[in-house]
């Protein structure tokens, strides 16, 4: 028997994870490689692979980070810094 986690709990975990990853990014000086971010989200929040991809897409879409494809680096925006600290 598989118990599904209610959608509202999934969303709350996603938002806590997003805030935690962005807070961590701020502590790293505001930028980090996606590899480092993936490792942190996986170990701290148990979010990896597809979940991490969704997290990063959300952060980019909401203009919380800028992503540089050439260097595979995410940089925290002012909006991301505000989100992480509120």
Alpha helices in the chain (DSSP H): 7-27, 34-45, 50-61, 78-85
- In the chain, the number of structural domains is 1
Q: pLDDT value at position 46?
A: 87
Looking at residue 5, its pLDDT comes to: 79
- Model confidence band, residue 1 (pLDDT cutoffs 50, 70, 90): low
32: in domain: yes
Provide the CATH number for the domain around residue 66. 1.10.10.10
Q: For residue 19, how many other CB atoms are within 10 A of its CB?
A: 16
Q: Are the C-beta atoms of 65 and 80 separated by less than 8 Å?
A: yes
What per-residue confidence (pLDDT) applies to 44? 92
Q: Residues 6 or more apart from 5 whose CB is under 8 A from it?
A: none
Asked if residue 71 is part of any domain, the answer here is yes
Any alpha helices (H) in 28-77, and if so which ranges? Answer: 34-45, 50-61
Host domain of residue 60? 9-85
Q: Count the neighbouring beta carbons within 10 Å of the beta carbon of residue 13.
A: 15
Residue 66 lies in a domain: yes
pLDDT tens track for 18-74: 999 999 999 999 999 999 999 999 999 888 788 999 999 999 999 999 999 999 999
């Amino acid at each position: 028997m598989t118990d599904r986690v209610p959608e509202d709990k999934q969303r709350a975990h996603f938002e806590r994870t997003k805030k935690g990853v962005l807070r961590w990014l701020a502590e790293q000086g505001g930028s980090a490689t996606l590899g480092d971010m993936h490792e942190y989200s996986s170990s701290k929040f148990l979010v990896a692979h597809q979940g991490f991809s969704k997290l990063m897409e959300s952060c980019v879409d909401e203009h919380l980070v800028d992503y540089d494809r050439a260097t595979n680096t995410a940089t925290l925006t002012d909006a991301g810094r505000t989100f992480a600290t509120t």
